[in-house]
Amino acid sequence: MKAYCLNNISNVALATLKNPDKIVEKVEDADTILVRSQDMHEYELGKNILAVARAGAGVNNIPLDKYAEQGVVVFNTPGANANAVKELVLAGMLLASRDIIGGNNWVKENANDENIAKSMEKAKKAFAGNEITGKTIAVLGLGAIGILVANMAVDLGMKVVGYDPYLSIQNALKLNKNVKFVENVMDAVKNVDFISIHVPAMEQTKGMLNKDVFNAANKGVVILDFARDTLVNENDIKEALENGQVGKFVTDFANPNVVKLPNTIITPHLGASTEEAEDNCALMAIDELKDYVENGNIRNSVNYPALNAGVKASGVRICINHKNVPGMIAKFSEIIMKDGANIATLTNKSKGDYAYTIIDIDKNVDDKKLASVEGTLRVRVI
C-alpha cells in the first residue's frame, strides 16, 4: 500500500506501516488516500487511486457517488471515536444540569475579591442545578455511539428510552437490558428530560429534532446534539429556547445562527478531538486500506458493499467494481471459463447502484476482457 495523506494523520498510526507499505509525498505515487476534514468534492483523483479512507465517521467532505463511478471505494471508521463522543455527551449533560460554566465565570470575574471565599457562599445559589440520576433520557440512534451513551446513562442511574429503526442484531446484543426500546420517535421523547441524538445526516433525518419532538418532552428538556447540526430545526429550537420548552441546547456545531441563541452550550466540533480517538480512527483507516489493497476485502465502505473473501492464498484473485445490474456475474464467469481458468470461489454483494465481486481462480485471464463488460467500473488483479 502506498498512501498519500491529505491531512495530518496520527503518527501512532503511521508508525504501524512497515515496508513495503509506506506514506508517499506525491499523490501521483499513491494507490490510496488518507483524509480527515479536507474537502474532496472538487478534488480530481488519478486513475492510480484505488480507495480513500476517512479517519472519522462523517463523509460529507467526500463525493461518494462520483468516486463510486470511478471504481474508488470510500471507507470510514465508525466506532473508532465512539468513546470520545460518549464522554463529551456526558460532559454536556453535566454542564447543562449544573451551571458549572456560570460558576466558573463568576470566580474569574471576582478574582480580585479578597473575601471571595465568603462572597461565594452568597453567590453560589445563582448557579444551583439538578442531578441527572433518576432523570429520563431518550437516545435517538443506537449505533456505535448511541449504544455507549444509552448504557452509560443506565450506569448513571437514569431511565433510558432508545430508538433506532435500523438497530442491528450486533448492537442490540450490546444494549443494556434496562434500556426501554421503542419503535417510534414520538414514543421515545414523550416526557423525557434529555434527548441525545446519534443518527446520520441524511435527507430523511434533516430537522428530525423539531417543535413536535420538543413539545412532547418535559418542559425544560435538554437537547444534546453531537451528531450533525442539520438534524436540528433551527427555527424550532430558537422558539423552544425562548419560550422555555427547551431548557438548554448543547451542540458540538457552531454556526452563525446557533451561536446567537439563548441558553446554549456550544463547542467547536470537539466530539472526536482526543489523542486516543485520532489514533484509533487512523489505525482503523489504515487497516481497512491494507486489507483492500492486499486482499480486496471491503469493510466499512460508504459507497460499496461490505465483502470479505478472506486472506488471498495461492492463485489469482480478481476484484471487480461494477454497476448493480442483472447478468454481470454470468458475463464475468463466461469470460473466465473461455480463458480456460477454473473458478475456486466467487463472492458478490451489492449496495444501491453499485456492486462488488471477488473471484478466486487458478490462473491468469485477460482482465481487459472483464473490463470491457458494460457496467464494469474497475478490474483489479491481485
What is the tens place of the pLDDT at every residue in 130-156?
A: 999 999 999 999 999 999 999 999 999
Question: Which of 3.50.50.60, 3.30.10.20, 3.40.50.80, 3.40.50.720 would CATH assign to domain 82-266?
Answer: 3.40.50.720
For residue 242, what pLDDT is reported? 97
For residue 306, what pLDDT is reported? 98
Cell of 199: 443518527
User: What CATH superfamily is the domain 1-81+273-304?
Assistant: NAD(P)-binding Rossmann-like Domain (3.40.50.720)
Average pLDDT over residues 154-178: 96
Domain map of the chain by residue range?
1-81+273-304, 82-266, 312-382
174: phi then psi, degrees, rounded to nearest 5:
-85, -15
Question: Which of 3.30.70.260, 3.40.50.720, 3.30.720.200, 3.40.50.880 would CATH assign to domain 312-382?
Answer: 3.30.70.260
Query: Is residue 223 over pLDDT 90?
Result: yes
Average pLDDT over residues 243-263: 96
Query: Is residue 214 over pLDDT 90?
Result: yes
Average pLDDT over residues 250-259: 96
Is 82-266 the same fold as 1-81+273-304? Answer: yes
What is the tens place of the pLDDT at every residue in 265-290?
A: 999 999 989 999 999 999 999 999 99
Would residue 200 be called left, alpha or beta, if left means φ above 0 and alpha means ψ between -120 and 50 degrees?
beta
Average pLDDT over residues 232-257: 97
Q: Which residues pair with 182 in a beta bridge?
A: 163
What is the tens place of the pLDDT at every residue in 38-86?
A: 999 999 999 999 999 999 988 989 999 999 999 999 999 999 999 999 9
For residue 175, what pLDDT is reported? 97
For residue 57, what pLDDT is reported? 85
Contact between residue 315 and residue 363 where contact means Cβ atoms under 8 Å apart: yes
Query: How far is 202 from 32, CA to CA, in rounded Å?
Result: 27
Query: How far is 372 from 328, CA to CA, in rounded Å?
Result: 11
For residue 314, what pLDDT is reported? 85
For residue 239, what pLDDT is reported? 98
For residue 72, what pLDDT is reported? 98
Query: Is residue 313 over pLDDT 90?
Result: no
Average pLDDT over residues 115-123: 96
